[in-house]
Amino acid sequence: MDCEDKFSSSSENSSDSKKVETEIAEEEDVEYVVVAPDGGYGWIVTAASFLCILISDGILFSFGLILSELERVFDEPVAKVAWIFSIVNGISLISGPIASALSNRFSFRAVVLTGSIFGFVGLSTSSLAQSVDILFFTLGILFGVSIGLIFTPLVVGVGFYFDKRRALATGITVCGSGAGTFVFAPVIYWLLEKYAIRGTFLILSGIYLNCAVLGSLLLPLKPQRRKIPQPEGVKLLEANETPNAHKEEENNKQDLKTLEQGQLNNRKVSVEKWNKNANKGKELSRREYLSSIFKFSLFRSPTFVVVCISSFFQSIGWFVPFVYLAAHAVNMGIPKEEASFLLSIVGICSMMGRIINGVLADHPKVSVLLLNNIGLSASGLLIILCPFFISYQLLVFYSIVLGLALSCTAVTRPILLGELLGLENVNNAYGFMLVFYGVATLFGTPMAGTQTIIS
């Protein structure tokens, strides 16, 4: 009986060994690639990403109204209260590489879900804060991290669902920022009038939790199996024709023996994973592993370094209008409700501009780099000239042009990175670029607040 069992076990091992060997041979002739559907479910992901950014950026870019109320409730100077928005925005941008690395390690979907929970906790606990110092943590850190974990995976992730219409899909996604500013500016004004600052934070936290529902639709694309194309006129050598063929054959037998011992007890172990690990020859060190996730080698590219430096100087003043435009209008005697509507104008024009710029960037005759530079120059000049717009009618015109100008770089930057560095590097490159945005934002907005007090 024991002999029969041993014979049966030996036969089973032999057949499994042949099966594994066959599967490995088949895997050598195929590759797994992610093919963008370029439509279909991709548009559902685009719509969900649009709504997610509408909520997160809508609350963020309407922060000027919240800061004015915090200044009144806690009786703190505007320079100190402005640090809350600065920390929120800075942390959200600096956390870009972390969001990119986590997306590479896990998935875009998991990172968005995590960010939604952070945002809910940050906003809900802010309703219990007794001082501005506590808000530095609940709003500045928790809410800031949540925006970073949501924004980067959504903007980059949408691009993987499209090929020909990638710029348009990205434009629709990021125009959620403008739409959110348009929607949330009057909503937050009404909430503050009706429920005060603490009730406003509680309601916003519940709204923010919907990002988890929307983010769950960001399903990862499954790689498709296809044969590796072989160049014409090249004859593949047989195993017995290769140099050191005998040695390789012995190594393969030894590998198969090891594979049998480790896999036969667990049939669900992937042959593909084993084959990949076997080809590596040795495990990556921790330093190499971190480098492969974050891709620090991107900084060897002079082009990418120039983009990062440009992002730093752009961000010093980029968010200033969103914080101080309403306060600037109130100081000129404009009613608070009409002043808050200026942010809605910026938001709706930004939304329209992002769609227009997305269509333009997809056109083969339009240079994405030139479009990006035009937007940068126009928005910079508008921020410099803001003090010269001293009537409500002029501020309405200013808000329209500013929204259109600011929308340009929001669409073109991820597309430009893809053209300059390759689609496979966009996730990490975009995350590193956001760090330069964040560092500049940490100091740019408070500096503007200090100048407001001096003047």
Domain boundaries defined on the chain: 41-222+293-454
Buried b (16+ CB within 10 A) or exposed e, 179-209: bbbbbbbbbbbebbeeeebeebbebbbebbb
Q: How confident is the model at residue 294 (pLDDT cuts 50, 70, 90)?
A: low
Give the tokens for residue 277: 């690990």
Give the tokens for residue 425: 């590097």
CB-based contacts of 189, cutoff 8 Å, min separation 6 = 65, 336, 337, 340
Instruction: Identify whether the C-beta of residue 179 lies closer than 8 Å to the C-beta of residue 347.
Output: yes
Q: What CA–CA distances, in Å, run from 119 to 88, 150, 366? A: 11, 10, 38
Burial of 38 per CB tally in 10 Å (0-12, 13-18, 19+): middle
* DSSP labels, 295-311: -GGGGG-HHHHHHHHHH
Q: What CA–CA distances, in Å, run from 180 to 56, 333, 347? A: 8, 26, 7
Q: What CA–CA distances, in Å, run from 424 to 97, 156, 412, 413? A: 15, 10, 17, 15
Instruction: Identify whether the C-beta of residue 275 lies closer than 8 Å to the C-beta of residue 24.
Output: yes
Phi, psi of 30 (to 5 degrees): -125, 165
Q: Which CATH superfamily is domain 41-222+293-454 in?
A: MFS general substrate transporter like domains (1.20.1250.20)
The model's pLDDT over 170-210, given as tens digits with 9 standing for 90+, comes to 778 877 887 887 888 889 989 998 899 899 999 999 999 99
Q: pTM value?
A: 0.64
CB-based contacts of 244, cutoff 8 Å, min separation 6 = none
Among 222, 208, 211, 161, smallest CA distance to 48 is for 211
The model's pLDDT over 76-123, given as tens digits with 9 standing for 90+, comes to 887 788 788 888 888 887 887 788 788 878 888 999 999 999 999 999
The model's pLDDT over 1-30, given as tens digits with 9 standing for 90+, comes to 554 554 455 555 555 555 545 555 455 555
Bridge partners, 227 (sequence order): 30
- Provide, rounded to the nearest whole percent, the portion of the chain with pLDDT above 90: 14
CA separation for the pair 195, 192 (Å, rounded) = 6
